[in-house]
Amino acid sequence: MTLSAEHLTKRFQNFLAVDNLNFKVEEGEIFGLIGQNGAGKTTTFRMILNLLAPTSGKINWGEHPIRGLERDQIGYLPEERGLYPKMPVEDQLLFFGQLRGWPKTVLRKEINEWLERFELNEKRKVLTETLSKGNQQKVQLIASLIHKPRLLILDEPFSGLDPVNAGLLKDAIVSLKKEGTVIIFSSHRMDHVEELCDHICLLKRGRSLFSGAILDLKKQYGKINLTIRGPYVETELAVLPGVESVTKEKDMYRLRLHHEHDARPIFQTLAKNGFIERFSLDYLSLEEIFTRKVAGKGE
């Protein structure tokens, strides 16, 4: 099944929160909706969830309006936690699962598996308010997916997670993808977006600056990140034709080029001076592109 938005627009009086947004997320695909705070991400999620009505445009699940999708088939992890602080972890998960129509006997098996997977077995009987911020985030995530939704919406899912727990979450997201779940999420961690997403939409003030595959976005800029190692001097590298900037990192230099084709003459110049230990040309990272395109720096 496919989730699609067509000319999606939401206006609050004189404020245009989402402006003519178009995207499509296929079954078993992870889609990243990224942008600065106030870009329209959460408003878009709320329209998908039918918590807000679009001013114009439409959101479809397959060939039908999204409102026809049963709520029990949707999982949602909000940026702000919605847990009951005085309720034990296991009871909380049973409660949310039963709200989705699942019997206790089935839920207990699912809860056991997820608590084991997220290393929360020893916390099942403790009050939620006593958990660390990261563990609360994991409990809320389990609550959002324990009913095996067909559509999963994750708003800043990595908030408060250390690298180990972030890895557990990424593994869970990939597993759901393999099972055919349509997954759409937002994150300010561009490394997570780049690692997980098949396609992305970059939002700025409610408008889409780009929607498509990450590689297609990177190709717009070309391979202008050059990493070299050798007996060089920063000031000499900075004056080479085609070099925009030079940064020294430990025993290597990071060169930002004006254009991808500047790399060949730079290589030929450096090779005249002897052995080049490392010469690596690559695309900009998604974080670097985000800074240029969304934050408006370096364009």
> Residues with Cβ < 8 Å from 43, sequence gap 6 or more?
10, 17, 18, 52, 206
Name the packing angle between helices 104-117 and 133-145 (round to 10°): 140
The one-letter amino acid at 168: L
Q: For residue 296, is pLDDT > 70?
A: no
Question: Per residue in 205-230, pLDDT tens?
Answer: 999 999 999 999 999 999 999 999 98
Residue 67 pLDDT class (50, 70, 90 cuts): confident
pTM of structure: 0.87
Question: What is the distance between the alpha carbons of residues 93 and 151, in angstroms, rounded to a whole number?
Answer: 19
Q: For residue 260, is pLDDT > 70?
A: yes
DSSP-derived 3-state class of residue 20 = strand
Determine the pLDDT at residue 273: 77
Strands 74-77 and 225-229 turn out to be unpaired
Chain-centre distance of CA 117, in angstroms? 21
User: What number of H helices and E strands is found in the chain?
Assistant: 10, 14
| Structural domains of the chain sorted by starting position, each given as residue range(s) with its CATH number in brackets | 3-217 (3.40.50.300), 222-282 (3.30.70)
DSSP-derived 3-state class of residue 206 = coil
Concatenated DSSP letters of 36-103:
STTSSHHHHHHHHTTSS--SEEEEEETTEEGGGS-GGGEEEE-SS----TTSBHHHHHHHHHHHTT--
Closest CA to 196 of 206, 204, 186, 211: 186
Question: What is the distance between the alpha carbons of residues 292 and 299, in angstroms, rounded to a whole number?
Answer: 5
Residue 248 pLDDT class (50, 70, 90 cuts): very high
